[in-house]
Structure 1
């Protein structure tokens, strides 16, 4: 029997597991697959559309006392992010930024996206630096799908940034097909490939006098900081990464450093375990059953953390008859009445669509409640996107709320 089983391997689940493992518990992360990290930017968003994220969070918690930030509390927000940053620093993949000012980093479309903390490999792309009047080069490979330097540069110029575009020649490689972000990230860790790339970048710098070069976030899987440093030295200009469309190499790096930390602490991870049903005694969750090759597998623990995400993470699904249900433990959901109430009349709605706030209602200790406000399980906590009452994508707090509530569960 485990002390704690965490269902879900996203940011919230990994932080909860790390927190429990640090306390000496026997911990298992049980998940059907990787969480939202693999399609995220690899940054830590706290709150969009505010100048000061921490002040905005404080105001949000006052206005919405059942918001995940309000439930976790300011201490868990700061401590959770501090723990992630410490893990990154120890792994040679530091995060930079501030609780009190959002960075503005380019996207793969050339928009400027607010985020509080970003990997050091992206920091030189902050719009406040890009607007210093010195020219910036946006470069990529034709073989990389969905990353178009001319489009990015044009949109940056429309926002007052002196940006130009270049298409690089893919350095010699034995690979002939399918140059995905992951494939290119592995190639960038090969010295010969990187040397050729550095020579091309240096030639552009000599010709155009570029102070910075924006490249897709493919500069290594395990040694990105070293790859960026090497390319900067070769090119003679600052290098910054721009997140690509999924699959996200930067998101994979974030997940990997968290996984490595959990394993170092003695925790276990079992992927491919889709939880199908639960076994209970009164208000205590005793066991869950996960899908296996020829039979169900039974897992037991004293405490549980549900971190399967909401609609976007697959923790909430719709049935053919138009009902929403929580997939792992069949917990009651706080959701609009009927399919007609899922969406607002207008697609571009300032308040978002009600369905995306679907989740599990909880008490102050993050334990699940039913529609009448009664406790469902006394030994289960709900974290991250599985929580009701917020829309993490629209609010721009996907990672922040996940880290805060996950860390709170890890310290409970």
Structure 2
């Protein structure tokens, strides 16, 4: 089986690169092990949120000060804003309504009410320009009765600390009460399936109207539909302004991003090999000539170009034992401290060195193997070294911008 480009890894970076190539006419195959880390995503894309423990207001200014080893620094400065706009356009073409811009961060709310700088956020989720924006506002946290993955006590305390007057309440409907008969049904994904139906949204709106009188804003868990974004439908039926806040994983917002991007790939003819992993790569000189996968066994998949976007430790793109850290798919060179004692910091909230470990690449994102660059292979996203994605709030931005940079490298050959 021969393709123009084969992408290994079906997370945000892999899907972004595949989408860019497919919409530009390439024959693309995407090998994905299954559910991606987007199931843990808040519904936001972060460019650069923190630097040396301080909030970054203007991401591009902060990026210019990052260490030379950071993946962003391998992208030409004048291209960063261009690629950021292309990322926004791609999400819109996939059917995702996002708010925000790359010039200045806004704040999103975590499930416990922490304010985190972000670049783009789904339109149904609440965002703040400043942390003082809610001062003096009367807020109702309206939770679905029996739903435990939206910690309203923590959220209420955080919002109260911002100066808001907060009250919590719960509601249910006939459909949601039916779901509650089984405790396993009261998870975000299952609730969202019930709220995909217009009638069930109308019933929920009636209950929210009953509770929401006299409030400036009603905040709901982000569970309003999995296949459809039903927030606009609910807002038209509720008298008080409504915004949503991300829940604990699994995240309906993150799954919606994944589903929309998957749908976009299908529309543009990309071949997606689901629930499969690469188990071997065949090299000749400085090129990768073919790969095999667990499911296809002896069938060799061949392409002119290959892209590795398998992620970091969470998704299995990097693995460790007591002595070493390795990249398991193609056995590429990894940048990491040799001594295990240097992998972590003693204090939990310090920057953890292992989070910046990853595949070693050239400035053009070509990975290294046996001391030389593989010239028709690229690495993108969280598998790259030099990025502490959680500490810096850069993970999703690095995924999208390095994927777009590599897509341009491939298309310009």
Aligned twin of 1:409: 406
Residue in structure 2 matching 1:221, options 218, 223, 226: 226
Q: Residue 369 of structure 1: CA displacement?
A: 2.4
Normalised by the length of structure 1, the TM-score is 0.91
Normalised by the length of structure 2, the TM-score is 0.91
Question: Could you list the per-position Cα deviations for residues 33-52 of structure 1 after superposition, in whole angstroms to 9, with x for gaps in the alignment?
Answer: 23221111121111112111
Q: Residue 353 of structure 1: CA displacement?
A: 1.4
Q: Residue 245 of structure 1: CA displacement?
A: 1.6
Q: Could you say if the C-alpha distance between residues 134 and 348 of structure 1 is closer, same or farther in structure 2, counting changes exceeding 3 Å? A: closer
Tell me whether 1:210 sits opposite 2:215 in the alignment: yes
Q: Could you say if the C-alpha distance between residues 369 and 90 of structure 1 is closer, same or farther in structure 2, counting changes exceeding 3 Å? A: closer
Give me the whole-angstrom Cα distance separating, in 1, the residues matched to 2:93 and 2:143. 30
Give me the whole-angstrom Cα distance separating, in 2, the residues matched to 1:237 and 1:126. 21
Tell me whether 1:237 sits opposite 2:240 in the alignment: yes
Question: Could you list the per-position Cα deviations for residues 130-172 of structure 1 after superposition, in whole angstroms to 9, with x for gaps in the alignment?
Answer: 4252311111123223213233112210222232211122443
Aligned twin of 2:169: 166
Q: Could you say if the C-alpha distance between residues 390 and 382 of structure 1 is closer, same or farther in structure 2, counting changes exceeding 3 Å? A: same
Aligned twin of 1:181: 188
Give me the whole-angstrom Cα distance separating, in 1, the residues matched to 2:174 and 2:395. 36
- In structure 2, runs of 5+ residues without a counterpart are 50-54
Tell me whether 1:196 sits opposite 2:199 in the alignment: no
Question: Could you list the per-position Cα deviations for residues 206-230 of structure 1 after superposition, in whole angstroms to 9, with x for gaps in the alignment?
Answer: 2xx1121111111112321xx2122
- In structure 1, runs of 5+ residues without a counterpart are none
Give me the whole-angstrom Cα distance separating, in 1, the residues matched to 2:173 and 2:130. 28
Tell me whether 1:357 sits opposite 2:356 in the alignment: yes
Q: Residue 323 of structure 1: CA displacement?
A: 1.3
Question: Could you list the per-position Cα deviations for residues 269-311 of structure 1 after superposition, in whole angstroms to 9, with x for gaps in the alignment?
Answer: 1121111121111111011121128x45431111100000112
Contact 2:17 2:407 in 1 (8 A): yes
Q: Residue 128 of structure 1: CA displacement?
A: 5.2
Give me the whole-angstrom Cα distance separating, in 2, the residues matched to 1:281 and 1:17. 25
Q: Secondary structure at the match of 1:184?
A: helix
Give me the whole-angstrom Cα distance separating, in 2, the residues matched to 1:131 and 1:292. 52
Aligned twin of 2:301: 299
Contact 2:95 2:260 in 1 (8 A): no
Q: Residue 84 of structure 1: CA displacement?
A: 3.6
Q: Residue 264 of structure 1: CA displacement?
A: 1.6
Contact 2:115 2:131 in 1 (8 A): no
Q: Could you say if the C-alpha distance between residues 134 and 380 of structure 1 is closer, same or farther in structure 2, counting changes exceeding 3 Å? A: same
Tell me whether 1:340 sits opposite 2:360 in the alignment: no
Give me the whole-angstrom Cα distance separating, in 2, the residues matched to 1:124 and 1:57. 23
Q: Could you say if the C-alpha distance between residues 278 and 360 of structure 1 is closer, same or farther in structure 2, counting changes exceeding 3 Å? A: same
Aligned twin of 1:317: 319
Number of residue pairs aligned between Structure 1 and Structure 2: 399
Give me the whole-angstrom Cα distance separating, in 1, the residues matched to 2:146 and 2:44. 25
Question: Could you list the per-position Cα deviations for residues 58-88 of structure 1 after superposition, in whole angstroms to 9, with x for gaps in the alignment?
Answer: 222xxx1221111123455434433343344
Q: Could you say if the C-alpha distance between residues 77 and 144 of structure 1 is closer, same or farther in structure 2, counting changes exceeding 3 Å? A: farther
Aligned twin of 2:11: 10
Contact 1:367 1:375 in 2 (8 A): no
Question: Could you list the per-position Cα deviations for residues 205-264 of structure 1 after superposition, in whole angstroms to 9, with x for gaps in the alignment?
Answer: 22xx1121111111112321xx21222222212221111121111111111221222222
Give me the whole-angstrom Cα distance separating, in 1, the residues matched to 2:63 and 2:279. 35
Q: Secondary structure at the match of 1:131?
A: coil
Residue in structure 2 matching 1:375, options 372, 376, 393: 372
Tell me whether 1:34 sits opposite 2:35 in the alignment: yes
Contact 1:85 1:94 in 2 (8 A): no
Q: Could you say if the C-alpha distance between residues 129 and 199 of structure 1 is closer, same or farther in structure 2, counting changes exceeding 3 Å? A: farther
Contact 2:69 2:386 in 1 (8 A): yes
Residue in structure 1 matching 2:63, options 57, 62, 66: 57
Aligned twin of 1:280: 283
Contact 1:171 1:197 in 2 (8 A): no
Q: Residue 358 of structure 1: CA displacement?
A: 0.9
Q: Could you say if the C-alpha distance between residues 80 and 171 of structure 1 is closer, same or farther in structure 2, counting changes exceeding 3 Å? A: farther
Contact 1:138 1:213 in 2 (8 A): yes
The ranges of structure 1 where at least 4 consecutive aligned residues each deviate by more than 4 angstroms after the TM superposition are: 124-130
